[in-house]
Amino acid sequence: MRKFLVLLVACLLVMMVIGCSEEEIVRVGIPFNDEGTTGAEFNTGFTDAETISELRKIIEMEEKVEPPKELTPVADLVLTLDKPEENVSELWRYIWYMDDGSAVLSNRESAVVREDEQEFYTLDEEQTIELKSIIE
């Protein structure tokens, strides 16, 4: 009987932890610059934990690079990783797809006006294909 109670309590604790996990959402949108007004129109989002985990793995592979010289002023896509319950955006990445199949990512929107703390990253062609399969 005691083993049954210990097992029951352990199962309840596991269920409580799983039930209390915070929800994350990835939003994907298209940035715009309309006569000086900048923003993004978000039209896709997903909350699947497995897909978000795959996205995190790809983002972990990005390599920091010097600011590229050949980027268009407006990125091709923007993605955010949000935690709505905490009202927090954990990650922002503006994405420029390059002709060679790679991608350049930045934590800020402008490729023309460099902002404080702006960083650029790169993904190779294979990583970019994986990224596209998740977010497009």
pLDDT digits (tens, 9 = 90+) for 61-93: 999 999 888 888 899 999 999 999 999 989 999
Report the distance separating Cα 127 and Cα 98, nearest Å. 13
Report the distance separating Cα 124 and Cα 27, nearest Å. 22
Q: Is residue 49 part of a domain?
A: yes
Report the distance separating Cα 16 and Cα 26, nearest Å. 24
Q: Is residue 14 part of a domain?
A: no
pTM summary value: 0.78
Where does the pLDDT of residue 22 fall: very low under 50, low under 70, confident under 90, or very high at 90 and above?
A: low
Q: Is residue 73 part of a domain?
A: yes
Look up the domain containing 43 and give its range.
23-135
Kindly report the CATH number assigned to the domain that includes residue 79: 2.60.40.4400
pLDDT at 14: 43
Q: Is residue 120 part of a domain?
A: yes
Which of 37 and 59 is assigned the larger pLDDT? 59
Count of the separate structural domains present in the chain: 1
Average pLDDT for 8-32: 64
